[in-house]
Amino acid sequence: MVPFVERNYNLVELGPRGTGKSHLFQQISPYAHLLSGGKATVAQMFVNNANGQRGLVCQYDVVCFDEVSGISFDKKDGVNIMKGYMESGEFSRGKEPIRADGSLVFVGNFEVDVEHQQRIGHLLNPLPPEMRNDTAFMDRIHAYLPGWDVPKIKKELLTDHFGLVSDFWSECMSHLRRLSRISVLQNRLHYGGALSGRDINAVNKTVSGLLKLLYPGDTNRIPDEDIEWAVHISLESRRRVKEQQKRIGAAEFRNTHFSYVFGEDGVEKFVATPELQSENSIGSDPLEPGQVWSISPGTIDEHPGLYRIEVNDGPGSGVKILNKPVPPAFKESIGFAEQNLYSRSIQLMGDKDPRHHEFSVQLRAFDAAKTGSKLGVAALIAFCTSLLKKNIRGGLIIVGEINLGGSIEPMHNAVTITEIAVEKGATSLLMPVACRRQLVDLSDDMATKVDVQFYSDARDALLKAIVE
Per-domain residue ranges for the chain? 2-252, 291-465
Residues in the chain: 468
Per-residue pLDDT of the chain (468 residues; tens, 9 = 90+): 899 999 999 999 888 887 777 888 888 888 998 887 767 788 888 888 878 788 888 999 999 888 777 777 767 778 888 888 899 888 887 677 889 999 999 888 877 677 667 666 778 888 887 788 888 888 899 999 888 888 888 888 888 888 778 888 889 898 999 988 888 888 888 898 888 899 999 999 999 999 999 988 877 788 888 999 999 999 999 998 888 888 786 667 777 888 888 877 777 888 888 876 655 568 777 888 999 999 999 888 888 999 999 999 988 999 999 988 899 999 999 999 999 999 999 999 888 899 999 999 999 998 888 899 999 999 999 999 999 988 899 899 999 999 999 999 988 899 999 999 988 889 999 999 999 999 998 888 888 989 999 999 999 999 999 987
Q: What whole-number distance in Å separates Cα of residue 464 and Cα of residue 453? A: 8
Q: Which of 26, 48, 46 is nearest to 36 (CA)?
A: 26
DSSP 266: -
Element (H or E) spanning 451, and its range? Answer: strand 451-455
Q: Which of 206, 201, 167, 241 is nearest to 2 (CA)?
A: 206
User: Which pLDDT score, from 0 to 100, does residue 278 have?
Assistant: 56
CATH, range 291-465: 3.30.230.10
Using N-to-C axis directions, what is the helix angle for 224-248 and 197-214, rounded to 10°? 140
CATH, range 2-252: 3.40.50.300
User: Which pLDDT score, from 0 to 100, does residue 281 have?
Assistant: 66
User: Which pLDDT score, from 0 to 100, does residue 118 have?
Assistant: 67
User: Which pLDDT score, from 0 to 100, does residue 275 have?
Assistant: 75
**pTM score of the predicted model:** 0.73
b/e map of 230-266 (b: 16 or more CB within 10 Å)? Answer: bbbbbbbbbbbbbbbbbbeeeeebeebbbbbebeeee
DSSP 151: P
Q: Which of 236, 228, 325 is nearest to 275 (CA)?
A: 236
List Cβ neighbours of 2 (8 Å cut-off, separation of 6 or more): 9, 11, 143, 205, 206, 209, 210, 213
Given a contact cutoff of 8 angstroms between Cβ atoms, the answer to whether 194 and 260 are in contact is no
List Cβ neighbours of 338 (8 Å cut-off, separation of 6 or more): 319, 359, 383
| Max Cα–Cα distance, the chain, nearest Å | 86
Pairing status of strand 318-321 against strand 357-365: parallel
Q: What whole-number distance in Å separates Cα of residue 417 and Cα of residue 293? A: 13
Q: What whole-number distance in Å separates Cα of residue 295 and Cα of residue 305? A: 5
DSSP 331: H
Helices (H), ranges, 283-413: 328-343, 345-349, 376-388
